[in-house]
Structures are given as structure tokens and as C-alpha cells.
């Protein structure tokens, strides 16, 4: 069910007209539906509680790289979610949003010393280790500040998974995780470390994983590895089985969550560990649209361009991955159709949201939405072309709030420093 539906011919986010939001906030603006976010979390929780015993429910740690607005984080925290972070900045966001550090896990191949220290000082649940030099750093820093670091080792299972080459992470040529031999080596090293407690393993194979088969293949060796590690005397009490749950951008056939939950029951549950998951896109992707205004309908002998005021700096996915995002007008859905290339104002040919897209005819001043923009939209936005970061709005029923102000030009320019000698 979409939380973005037409009412009286005008597209609404839940009970709020997108026209009203645009009138008050301007465009481009990201608009998120809290009902959708809650519904997605409940769907995942529901599938898990149907398949797994009540005392063995997984800890769902929202991968906030997908959308790290503090309001979104608070909303998810309020629904019982934990958090997956990849930087000190995301840790700060999580703590500011009130997450219990015991529900925060830290991943990433390049954890800096200050990040490791911040995680340890905050007392987060675990650091997911991605290299052996990182393990040495963690021991050193934990000893320095007098804390014990709980770690799991990220296994790179060397299988393909994830919808797009750039978002798949589990093959041996990827920079992520440790191979099997290194995982064993890591456990051995940790055994002799005074300030590290090795607790288990993590695997994240990539994003937009559509079939249980892909998980099955990726996790195939896991039970054997857990058994062997235990045989060597290591305590394996946690398995972090990552994220990657897909959403529909166009007409993709989605992962059967119940079948996935049954797979967790059959394969992961018998390993007798705490289970952690890291869903990102699934919780927020289709909860958001990017609301934009048509600047010009520009016709050339070859093509009809709709130049809109959102651009690749606001939503990078189409330019970066060639991703499909549905586009829809906010009003006048019944206008005669036309074939458009929908483009932003940035000075690059790749600043195109859609090519050859059939849409109702639009003109200057009309509003449109770019759908499925709640995940990896704002969080990947930049100031390219000195364009201000867009505003963000959260809707709940009939009420709505600006959850991030549009950036001002002064905020951008004010950060630059011209030395007197230039
Ligand atoms: N856990 C780890 C260790 C990850 O690296 C990621 C995503 C997730 C969890 C969450 O994955 P999800 O459930 O959202 O698929 N910018 C790309 C996606 C990059 C994903 C990076 N890692 C995009 O726009 O498609």
C-alpha cells in the first residue's frame, strides 16, 4: 500500500496535499510518510515473530545510511528499532535520537581511530570488524581508554548478491569483510587480546536481494564455520545477518518475507545465537518522494525535456546507478500524455531522472514527485553546482512538519575560507 495517493485529483502524502507542502516549503523537498515507515518495520517484525519464538526475536538495527534524519531515527527508535552506523556522524545522530547504545552496531571497512573510540565510549553493542589491522586498532584503542570492545567478524562469503554491481558487497573482489581463513585468524588473535571480546560473525551480501536463494547461497558455509569456531573453543553468541531487503521501484518481484523468516528459522536459529539484522532501504525507501517543480518544458526536434528544479545533487541514484524511479505529477493526471526526458538543472548530461518516460503533459510551475526516494536520497545529496541541500518533511496523518530546513546559501558559502593572499 502506498502512502502517496490521489485525493480529489491531487497527490497526497497520507492526509496532506503535496501542493500545500510545496506552497509552504518550496521545492525540491523530500516528503516522508511515517505510516509507511512504521508499516514496513511492523511487516518485518511481523514476519519474524510469526516464524521465530518470542524469546528468539532478532534485533533489527536500522541501517541509517539510507536516511539519517533525526526525526526518522526517533520515529524508528520509538518503534523498538536498533541502529546500524558507519561513521562517528551516524553514531552522533543515533545517540541524539535517543537510541540505546546496547542496540547500536558499527560497520564499515575504514573505521577511524576517533570513531572506534567514540563507539567504545558510547558502549555500543558491537563493532563489525572488516580487516585484521582494524582489529589491532580496536584492541589498542580499547586498552587506551580502558574498555572491552565487543566485536564480530564480517565474513565475505564470496557470492554475488544485490541488485546492481555497485551495491553488491559479498564477492571476493569487494573491499568488504574477511575471507574464511582471516575470520579464523581474527578469532585466534582476539583470544590473546586483553580488551577485545569476539562474539560472532556478520554477513551483508548487498542490497536489493530478491530471493531467499541468494541468502541461502551466501550463508551456506555459515553453520560449518560456526561449528568449527566452536570446536576451537570460541564462543559464538551473535550472528548479524545484514540487510538487503528489497523494495519495489518499478515492477520487481519482491522477496517473500515469510519465506525469508522461515529460512532464518531453519538455518540461523539452530545456531543458537542472538540474531541481528540491518535493514535500511526496506524501512524507508518507498516512504519518501522527492517533490519538485517543473521549471521548463523544453522541446527540441529530438526530445521533449521536462527540466525540474530537483537535480542529481538532490537524488543521485539515477545518475550514479542508472536507477529507475517512478515519476508522477501532483495534479492534472488526466492531461494528454507525452514522452519526456526528465532532467535537473545541473551541468551534466547524466543529470537525468528518466528517459523516454510517458507522463501527462506538464508545464512550468507544475509539481511532480520522484518516487521511492526515501532511501539513499537525501543521505547521498551534495552541494554540487553550489545547490542548497533540499528541505525534508515528515507527514503523519493530517499533520506534517519540516524535519530539516532547506540549506541557505550563507550556510554553504560561510564554510569556505579565502586566505588573504589569494
Ligand atoms: N548493512 C551493511 C553493512 C550495509 O553496507 C548496508 C548497505 C546495509 C546494511 C543496508 O542495506 P539495505 O538494507 O539498505 O539494502 N546507495 C545505494 C545503496 C548502498 C548500500 C550500502 N550498504 C543505493 O542507493 O542503492
User: What's the 3-state SS for the chain?
Assistant: CCCEEEECCEEEECCEEHHHHHHHHCCCEEEEEHHHHHHHHHHHHHHHHHHCCHHHCCEEEEECCCCCCHHHHHHHHHCCCEEEECCHHHHHHHHHCCCCHHHEEECCCCCCHHHHHHHHHHCCCEEEECCHHHHHHHHHHHHHHCCCEEEEEEECCCCCCCCCHHHECCCCCCCCCECHHHHHHHHHHHHCCCCEEEEEEECCCECCCCCHHHHHHHCCCHHHHHHHHHHCCCCCCEEECCCCCCCCCCCCCCCCHHHHHHHHHHHHHHHCCEEEECCCHHHHHHHEEEEEEEEEEEECCCCEEEEECCCCCCCCHHHHHCCCCCEEECCCCCCCEEEEEEECCCCCCCCEEEEEEEEECCCCCCEEEECCCCCCCHHHCCCHHHCCCCEEEEEECCEEEEEECCCCHHHHHCCCCCCCCC
**Does 317 sit in the ligand 1 pocket, CB within 6 Å?**
yes
In the set 61, 64, 119, 347, the catalytic residue is 347
pLDDT at residue number 160: 65
Q: Nearest residue CA, atom 18 of ligand 1?
A: 167
Residue 198: predicted pLDDT: 98
Is 417 contained in some domain?
Answer: no
Side-chain half-sphere exposure of 400, counting CA atoms within 13 A? 24
β-pair type (82-85, 59-63): parallel
Residues 76 and 157 in one domain: yes
Statement to judge: residues 77 and 203 lie in one domain: yes
User: Residue of the nearest CA to atom 16 in ligand 1?
Assistant: 376
61 is catalytic: no
Ligand 1 center from residue 251 Cα (angstroms): 20
In a domain, 171, yes or no: yes
Same domain, 25 and 54: no
- Ligand 1, pocket-test mutation among 207, 210, 380, most atoms within 8 A of CB: 207
Q: Which of 252, 284, 316 is the last residue of a domain?
A: 284
Does residue 39 share a domain with residue 18? Answer: no
Residue that wins the pLDDT comparison between 199 and 175: 199
Residue 272 lies in a domain: yes
Q: Which pLDDT value is given to residue 162?
A: 56
Whether residues 319 and 258 fall in one domain: no
Report residue 173's pLDDT band, with 50, 70 and 90 as the boundaries.
Answer: confident
Pocket lining: 84 vs ligand 1, CB cutoff 6 Å = yes
Ligand 1 mean position, distance from CA 61 (Å)? 12
Whether 126 has a pLDDT exceeding 70, the answer reads yes
Buried b (16+ CB within 10 A) or exposed e, 122-137: bebbbbbbbbeebbeb
Domain co-membership, 264 together with 297: no
pLDDT the model gives residue 171: 80
The ligand 1 atom at the shortest distance from the C-alpha of residue 320 is: 24
Q: Which of 258, 284, 310 is the last residue of a domain?
A: 284
Residue 2: is its pLDDT beyond 90? no
The residue-averaged pLDDT of 100-125 equals 97
Residue nearest to atom 24 of ligand 1 (CA): 376
**Ligand 1 mean position, distance from CA 278 (Å):** 9
Q: Is residue 418 part of a domain?
A: no
For residues 210 and 319, membership in a common domain is answered with no
Phi, psi of 166 (to 5 degrees): -80, -10
Query: Are 44 and 22 contained in the same domain?
Result: no
Ligand 1, residues 40, 44, 63: which to mutate, most atoms within 8 A of Cβ? 63
Residue 170: predicted pLDDT: 72
Q: How far is the CA of 288 from the centre of ligand 1 (A)?
A: 17
Long-range pairs, 73-79, Cβ under 8 A, ≥24 = 73/97, 73/99, 74/98, 75/34, 75/37, 75/38, 75/394, 76/37, 76/41, 76/283, 79/38, 79/41, 79/42
- Say if ligand 1 is within 6 A of residue 130 CB: no
CB 359 within 8 A of CB 329: yes
Identify the pLDDT of residue 167.
61
Residues 232 and 137 in one domain: yes
Give CA–CA dist 324/11, Å, rounded. Answer: 20
Contact at 8 Å (CB) between 320 and 59? Answer: no
Pick the last residue of a domain from 284, 311, 339: 284
> CA angle, corner 118, sides to 117 and 121, nearest 5?
85
Can you tell me the distance from the alpha carbon of 288 to that of 293, in angstroms, rounded to the nearest whole number?
A: 16
Residues 353-376, mean pLDDT to the nearest whole number: 98
Do residue 140 and residue 251 come from a single domain? yes
Is 306 within a domain? yes
pLDDT tens digit sequence for 8-55: 999 999 999 999 999 999 999 999 999 999 999 999 999 999 999 999
CATH of the domain at 121: 3.20.20.10
CA of 20 to the centre of ligand 1 (A): 33
420 lies in some domain: no
Task: Determine the average pLDDT of the residues in 311-335.
Answer: 98
Per-residue pLDDT tens over the stretch 130-164? 999 999 999 999 999 999 999 999 999 987 655 55
Q: Is 60 exceeded by the pLDDT of residue 75?
A: yes
Looking at the fold, whether 144 and 103 belong to one and the same domain comes out as: yes
The percentage of residues in the chain with a pLDDT greater than 90, rounded to a whole number, is 95
Centroid of ligand 1 to alpha carbon of 422 (angstroms): 42
In a domain, 337, yes or no: yes
CB of residue 288 inside a 6 A radius of ligand 1: no
Do 253 and 117 share a structural domain? yes
The finding on whether 376 has its CB within 6 A of some atom of ligand 1 is: yes
Q: What's the half-sphere exposure (Cβ side, CA atoms, 13 Å) at 282?
A: 28
Is residue 419 situated within a structural domain?
Answer: no
What Å distances lie between residue 49 and 1, 35, 264, 274, 295, CA to CA? 21, 20, 11, 14, 48
CATH code at 335? Answer: 2.40.37.10
* Alpha-carbon span 208 to 305, nearest angstrom: 30
State the average pLDDT for the chain: 96
Output the pLDDT for position 379. Answer: 98
Domain region containing 124? 35-284
For the segment 235-248, the average pLDDT, to the nearest whole number, is 98
Tell me how many domains the chain contains.
Answer: 2
Phi-psi region at 282: left, alpha or beta (left = phi > 0; alpha = psi -120 to 50): alpha
Dihedral of the alpha carbons of 23, 25, 31, 34, in degrees to the nearest 10: -100
C-beta neighbour count of 270 within 10 angstroms: 10
Amino acid at each position: 500500500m502506498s502512502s502517496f495517493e490521489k485525493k480529489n485529483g491531487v497527490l497526497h502524502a497520507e492526509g496532506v496535499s503535496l501542493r500545500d507542502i510545496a506552497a509552504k516549503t518550496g521545492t525540491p523537498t523530500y516528503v516522508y510518510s511515517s505510516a509507511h515507515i512504521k508499516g514496513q518495520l511492523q511487516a518485518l517484525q511481523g514476519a519474524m515473530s510469526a516464524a521465530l519464538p518470542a524469546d528468539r526475536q532478532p534485533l533489527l538495527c536500522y541501517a541509517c545510511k539510507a536516511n539519517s534524519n533525526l526525526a526518522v531515527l526517533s520515529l524508528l527508535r520509538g518503534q523498538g528499532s536498533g541502529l546500524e552506523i558507519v561513521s562517528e556522524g551516524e553514531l552522533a545522530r543515533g545517540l541524539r535520537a535517543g537510541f540505546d547504545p546496547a542496540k547500536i552496531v558499527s560497520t564499515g571497512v575504514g573505521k577511524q581511530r576517533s570513531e572506534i573510540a567514540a563507539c567504545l565510549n558510547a558502549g555500543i553493542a558491537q563493532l563489525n570488524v572488516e580487516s585484521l589491522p582494524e582489529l589491532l586498532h580496536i584492541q589498542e584503542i580499547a586498552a587506551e581508554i580502558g574498555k572491552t570492545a565487543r566485536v564480530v567478524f564480517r565474513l565475505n562469503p564470496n557470492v554475488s548478491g544485490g541488485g546492481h554491481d555497485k551495491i553488491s558487497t559479498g564477492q571476493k573482489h569487494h573491499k568488504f569483510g574477511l575471507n574464511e581463513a582471516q575470520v579464523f585468524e581474527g578469532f585466534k588473535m582476539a583470544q590473546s587480546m586483553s580488551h577485545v571480546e569476539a562474539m560472532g560473525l556478520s554477513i551483508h551480501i548487498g542490497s536489493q536481494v530478491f530471493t531467499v536463494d541468494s541468502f541461502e547461497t551466501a550463508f551456506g558455509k555459515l553453520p560449518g564455520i560456526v561449528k568449527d569456531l566452536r570446536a576451537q573453543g570460541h564462543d559464538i553468541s551473535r550472528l548479524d545477518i545484514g540487510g538487503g531487503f528489497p523494495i519495489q521501484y518499478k515492477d520487481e518481484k519482491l522477496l517473500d518475507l515469510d519465506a525469508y523468516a522461515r529460512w532464518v528459522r531453519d538455518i540461523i536459529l539452530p545456531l543458537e545465537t542472538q540474531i541481528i539484522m540491518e535493514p535500511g532501504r526496506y524501512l524507508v525507501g518507498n516512504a519518501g518522494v522527492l517533490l519538485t517543480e517543473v521549471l521548463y518544458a523544453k522541446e527540441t526536434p529530438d526530445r521533449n525535456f521536462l527540466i525540474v528544479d530537483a537535480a542529481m545533487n538532490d537524488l543521485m541514484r539515477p545518475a550514479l546507478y542508472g536507477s529507475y524511479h517512478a515519476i508522477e505529477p501532483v495534479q492534472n493526471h488526466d492531461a494528454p500524455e507525452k514522452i519526456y526526458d526528465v532532467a535537473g538543472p545541473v551541468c551534466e548530461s547524466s543529470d537525468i531522472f528518466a528517459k523516454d518516460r510517458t507522463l501527462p503533459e506538464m508545464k512550468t510551475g507544475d509539481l511532480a514527485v520522484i518516487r521511492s526516494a526515501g532511501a539513499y536520497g537525501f543521505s547521498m545529496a551534495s552541494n554540487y553546482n553550489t545547490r542548497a541541500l533540499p528541505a525534508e518533511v515528515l507527514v503523519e496523518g493530517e499533520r506534517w512538519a519540516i524535519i530539516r530546513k532547506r540549506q541557505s546559501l550563507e550556510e554553504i558559502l560561510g564554510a569556505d575560507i579565502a586566505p588573504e593572499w589569494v
